[in-house]
A and B are shown apart, each in its own frame.
Chain A
Amino acid sequence: MEQKMINELIEKYNVGLADEEDMKAIEQLIESGKIGFTQLRDLAKLDEQIFSIDAGSPSIRLDDQFYSALAQEKNTQVSKTISLPKFEWSSIFPRLAMAASFLVAGFVGGYFLKSPAEDKSVKQLTQQVGELKEMMMLSMLEKESATERLKAVSLSSDMNQVSKKVTSALFKTLNGDENVNVRLAALDVLMNYAKDGEVRAELIKSISVQDSPLVQVALAELMVTLQERKSVTELKKLLKNDKTPKEVKGKIEKSISVLI
């Protein structure tokens, strides 16, 4: 369609004389971009008015709802990153698998070929596996992630025999780890070695070092279970400490009365 005809059509529309056929032609020209809304006077005015209508603003309630949902999502994101250390495990898994396969190979070998020389090699293998576990556990205890350190502690609970190195690492965790759950896990493992005089003495020393009520109560309970009277002095130190919560003091008093 020529420009002249388009202009005539627009003029017709603007004076209100466009019939049904003209309207169809205008629609087609609008679709192809040859006519813009600004050329259709009434519509341009209406369009402009629609733009100037203010629908108002949402209330503060919307902000509250949105920002609390956002905060929740952020927390979920953080906990996901803490609880999913897949990459770390994948790097450790081959070592574990190798250790396990050595162990199985050692047992199978030992079962079928019981010669003194091979008995010796089985012992060596078992020792190597133990050392490997120990090394892994000690390096994992140094990790920044609390989950990693928890895994390290639980790894040591699988060990039949532990070296002094391991127990001292566990005590370091019990007395100094920033995470209470890790400290409690370390205490759980150390309980198994409480028959050892040195471990027992270290456990007693640890009582007054603790600032977490949970660990304090757990240690007090352990002392009752072990019937360790030497712990009374350390327990009393907690009683004298102003920072010890009332509930914990009550629990400790009960433990002391049982021990005495």
Chain B
Amino acid sequence: MVMAREGDLDKLGLLFERYKKPLYGFFYGLNREQELSEDLVQNTFLRILKYRHLFRGEGDFRAWMFQIARNVNNDHHRGQKIKAKEELEDWQDKLGHNENRSTEMLLADDHQMLSMAMDRLPIDKREVLLLSKYQEKKYHEIGEILGCTEGAVKVKVFRALQELKEVYRQLEKRM
């Protein structure tokens, strides 16, 4: 990234190749829409391109990238408040369908169940779990992204996992 900041833009291509998939997974985990997630990855890299001179080169690039990614996601949802309300209703409808579908699919695999449980978590809890996954449990870096201490991140992850466990159990009971 330091080389990209100094003007070697080909190096940014390398960073894109390395991080497009985790970044896409992060956005997809938050939004569950392929096209939107791709657009948000693109927006994140456009911001990196635009503000590359602000990367100090001291910290972890991935943490800096996820910080930008969170802002991109927040800006997107802030700009679409009205639309988001409609989407929430759609989402609730979709959830209803998923529940019906899930009762029909008695042999649904663990991953599907887990994805459904993740979808039901509040956005902040889902986000911290996704950051834990894509930041590879580097809680200190996640603390930099979220603006809190490493210990506070661990507690957030614990609470999110705890709630995920409950939701997962409820889903299991219904099946």
Contacts and interface: CB of A to CB of B under 8 A. Distances in A.
> What DSSP secondary structure best describes chain A's contact surface?
helix
B165 interface: yes
Contacts of B96: none
A23 B159 CA distance: 10
Given A58-B24, A73-B49, A49 B111 contact: yes
Interface in A41-93: 42-43, 46-47, 49-59, 61-63, 65-67, 69-70, 73-74, 77
Contact of A70 (B34, B49, B132): B49
A71 to B, nearest CB: 9
Given A27-B158, A55-B29, A62-B24, 14 more contacts: A30-B151, A49-B111, A50-B114, A56-B24, A56-B25, A57-B24, A58-B24, A66-B45, A67-B13, A69-B42, A70-B13, A73-B49, A74-B9, A77-B9
A43 B161 contact: yes
A49 B110 CA distance: 8
Nearest to A81: B7
Nearest to A23: B162
B24 A55 contact: yes
B46 interface: yes
Nearest to B157: A37
A20 interface: no
> What DSSP secondary structure best describes chain B's contact surface?
helix
A44 B10 CA distance: 40
Contacts of A37: 154, 157-158, 161
Nearest to B115: A53
Interface residues of B, number: 39
B151 A32 contact: yes
Interface string B111-138: 1001100100000000001001100000
B63 interface: no
A56 B28 contact: yes
Interface string B41-52: 110011001000
B41 A62 contact: yes
Interface string B16-52: 1000110011001100001001100110011001000
A73 B13 CA distance: 12
Interface of B: 7, 9, 12-13, 16, 20-21, 24-25, 28-29, 34, 37-38, 41-42, 45-46, 49, 110-111, 114-115, 118, 129, 132-133, 151-152, 154-155, 157-159, 161-162, 164-165, 168
Contacts of B38: 58-59, 61-62, 65
A50 B134 CA distance: 10
A220 to B, nearest CB: 43
